């Protein structure tokens, strides 16, 4: 009976109630949507690399090493000699390594030289392996494997030829145009910087820089265009040139036992051959995310303010309707309704609007997540889980209802006082 009375009361003011209901729906949608994106962004950020015990580079800051080795942002302060890399890779505790060579680009996208072990051992997310959407990993000297974003934005497909540029600018006048690469494979989207990277072999990086010094091609280069067999990607002159790298930018390490992590990290950080730094990627990722806590808290504040504005609008709607409902209130008082009953009726009306708006907002969020998941993954590298209803979401919805109850006290107390005044006037 009480619920039916509240519904009939709202129906009598369906115009203003509908507008308030839509405002609550939008605000709750924004609140839950921001929280969902924030949670998934944090999860994706923390899962950029997985299963890697150490990242080793020239001595610099922890975050700087993480930025250029994993996120392809910034530059290394120095390179690592190949001898130092081999010395650490031969350590009995080391199971595998992934060397990384950076410094070239293609139309604004980073080029990374590595080995076939990259496709075998690199992990992201919840220990997911890299998978190829098309083609295969590089096998010839001038093969390149593209990240999904590179292939999509530049329109490349298998077999296409492309030219790498020296340096990291989006526009470069130092092109390795005498040694083009062939697209051998395209990776599936990962939601990580892998999607914005071109992957080539370390030998390919060395080959395109033969005859170059300090970023400039020397005249009379020993590798002329005619020395390249473009059909196979093999060089006729490889027997005359040692393509073993002299230096690399960094390398990732997988250990046989997690117990040896700190021991090897200390050995690398005190290595006497050259100044090196070994970092724990998980710890450094957490430090980097904490630096962005201001942005995270700002998003929460904005969504909370949107919700507060809607709840105040709900209170204003109920408060404005009280004057119109004086006759209704007088009739209910005449048939024995107490002031507390009227206050509870106002609260019930507010809770019904907020509850209906929250349910609709949750449904819309589930629907929009399902419809846009693929687009968000391909365009923004943001992987949204299909499960929207989480314990955290229930906490937010409960907070919305409690906030509604508190805000509705404003018109509720007004009705309560008005009812008492009518009683005293009698």
Q: Are 205 and 119 in the same domain?
A: yes
Give the end of a domain, one of 255, 279, 303: 279
247-248 and 80-81 as β-strands: parallel, antiparallel, unpaired? Answer: antiparallel
- Please give the Cα distance from 271 to 83 (Å, whole number): 13
Average pLDDT over residues 282-305: 81
Is 401 a domain residue? yes
Sorted by sequence, the CB contacts under 8 Å of residue 249 that are 6+ apart come out as 57, 68, 69, 76, 79, 80, 100, 101, 102, 103
* Pairwise pLDDT comparison (126 vs 271), residue with the higher score: 271
> In the prediction, which pLDDT does 219 show?
61
What is the band of 233 on the pLDDT scale with cuts at 50, 70, 90?
very low
> In the prediction, which pLDDT does 235 show?
41
Residue 24 tokens read as 């609550």
Is 148 a domain residue? yes
Is 165 a domain residue? yes
Residue 275 has pLDDT above 70, yes or no: yes
Q: What percent of the chain clears pLDDT 70, i.e. is strictly above it?
A: 83
Average per-residue pLDDT in the chain?
82
The pLDDT tens digits for 369-424 are 888 777 776 666 566 665 566 777 888 888 888 888 888 888 777 777 776 665 54
The pLDDT tens digits for 312-347 are 887 887 777 776 666 776 777 667 767 777 778 888
> In the prediction, which pLDDT does 412 show?
76
Give the end of a domain, one of 279, 314, 348: 279
Structural domain range at position 315: 2-45+292-425
- Please give the Cα distance from 213 to 15 (Å, whole number): 75
Residue 100 tokens read as 């990384």
> In the prediction, which pLDDT does 220 show?
54
Q: Are 327 and 186 in the same domain?
A: no
Is 286 a domain residue? no
Is 285 a domain residue? no
Sorted by sequence, the CB contacts under 8 Å of residue 415 that are 6+ apart come out as 322, 329, 339, 342, 343, 345, 346
Is 266 a domain residue? yes
Give the end of a domain, one of 279, 307, 332: 279
Residue 214 has pLDDT above 80, yes or no: no
* Pairwise pLDDT comparison (171 vs 153), residue with the higher score: 153
The pLDDT tens digits for 12-24 are 777 778 888 888 8
Q: Are 83 and 198 in the same domain?
A: yes
> In the prediction, which pLDDT does 218 show?
61
What is the band of 1 on the pLDDT scale with cuts at 50, 70, 90?
low
Residue 131 tokens read as 């998978």
Task: Report which DSSP code applies to 372.
Answer: H
What is the band of 169 on the pLDDT scale with cuts at 50, 70, 90?
low
> In the prediction, which pLDDT does 422 show?
56
- Please give the Cα distance from 6 to 325 (Å, whole number): 13
- Please give the Cα distance from 315 to 271 (Å, whole number): 67
Is 86 a domain residue? yes
What is the band of 209 on the pLDDT scale with cuts at 50, 70, 90?
confident
Q: Are 357 and 240 in the same domain?
A: no
* Pairwise pLDDT comparison (150 vs 421), residue with the higher score: 150
Query: In whole angstroms, what separates CA 362 from the centre of its chain?
Result: 22
How many domains does the chain divide into?
2
Average pLDDT over residues 16-42: 82
Q: Are 233 and 319 in the same domain?
A: no
Mark 287-311 as b/e (b = at least 16 C-beta within 10 Å): ebeeeeeeeeeeeeeebbebbeebb
Is 284 a domain residue? no
What is the band of 234 on the pLDDT scale with cuts at 50, 70, 90?
very low
> In the prediction, which pLDDT does 423 show?
52
> In the prediction, which pLDDT does 384 show?
66
- Please give the Cα distance from 426 to 424 (Å, whole number): 5
- Please give the Cα distance from 169 to 163 (Å, whole number): 14
Q: Are 18 and 38 in the same domain?
A: yes
> In the prediction, which pLDDT does 225 show?
41
Q: Are 215 and 327 in the same domain?
A: no
Q: Are 210 and 183 in the same domain?
A: yes
Q: What percent of the chain clears pLDDT 90, i.e. is strictly above it?
A: 35
């Amino acid at each position: 009976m009480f619920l039916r009375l509240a519904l009939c009361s709202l129906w009598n003011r369906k115009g203003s109630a509908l507008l308030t209901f839509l405002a609550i729906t939008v605000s709750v949608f924004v609140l839950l949507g921001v929280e969902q994106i924030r949670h998934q962004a944090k999860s994706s950020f923390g899962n950029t690399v997985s299963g890697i015990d150490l990242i080793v580079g020239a001595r610099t800051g922890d975050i700087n090493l993480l930025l250029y080795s994993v996120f392809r942002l910034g530059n290394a302060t120095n390179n690592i000699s190949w001898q130092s890399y081999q010395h650490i890779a031969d350590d009995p505790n080391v199971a595998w390594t992934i060397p990384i060579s950076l410094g070239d680009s293609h139309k604004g996208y980073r080029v990374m030289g590595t080995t076939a072990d990259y496709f075998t051992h690199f992990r992201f997310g919840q220990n997911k392996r890299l998978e190829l959407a098309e083609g295969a990993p590089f096998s010839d000297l001038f093969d390149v494997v593209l990240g999904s974003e590179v292939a999509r934005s530049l329109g490349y497909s298998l077999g296409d030829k492309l030219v790498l540029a020296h340096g990291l600018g989006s526009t470069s006048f130092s092109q390795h145009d005498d040694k083009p690469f062939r697209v051998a494979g395209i990776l599936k989207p990962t939601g990580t910087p892998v999607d914005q990277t071109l992957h080539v072999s370390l030998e390919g990086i060395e080959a395109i820089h033969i005859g170059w010094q300090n970023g400039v091609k020397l005249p009379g280069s020993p590798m002329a265009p005619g020395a390249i067999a473009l059909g196979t990607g093999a060089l006729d002159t490889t027997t005359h040139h040692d393509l073993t790298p002299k230096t690399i930018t960094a390398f990732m390490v997988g250990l046989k036992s997690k117990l040896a992590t700190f021991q090897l990290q200390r050995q690398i950080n005190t290595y006497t051959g050259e100044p090196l730094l070994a970092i724990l990627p998980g710890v450094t990722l957490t430090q980097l995310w904490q630096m962005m806590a201001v942005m995270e808290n700002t998003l929460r504040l904005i969504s909370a303010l949107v919700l507060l504005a809607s709840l105040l609008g709900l209170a204003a709607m109920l408060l404005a309707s009280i004057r119109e409902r004086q006759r209704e209130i007088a009739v209910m008082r005449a048939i024995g309704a107490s002031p507390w009953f009227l206050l509870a009726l106002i609260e019930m009306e507010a809770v019904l609007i907020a509850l209906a708006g929250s349910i609709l907002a949750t449904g819309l969020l589930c629907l929009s997540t399902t419809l846009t998941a693929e687009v968000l993954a391909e365009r923004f590298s943001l992987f949204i889980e299909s499960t929207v209803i989480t314990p955290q979401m229930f906490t937010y919805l409960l907070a919305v209802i409690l906030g509604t109850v508190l805000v509705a006290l404003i018109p509720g107390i007004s009705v309560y006082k008005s009812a008492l005044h009518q009683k005293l006037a009698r």
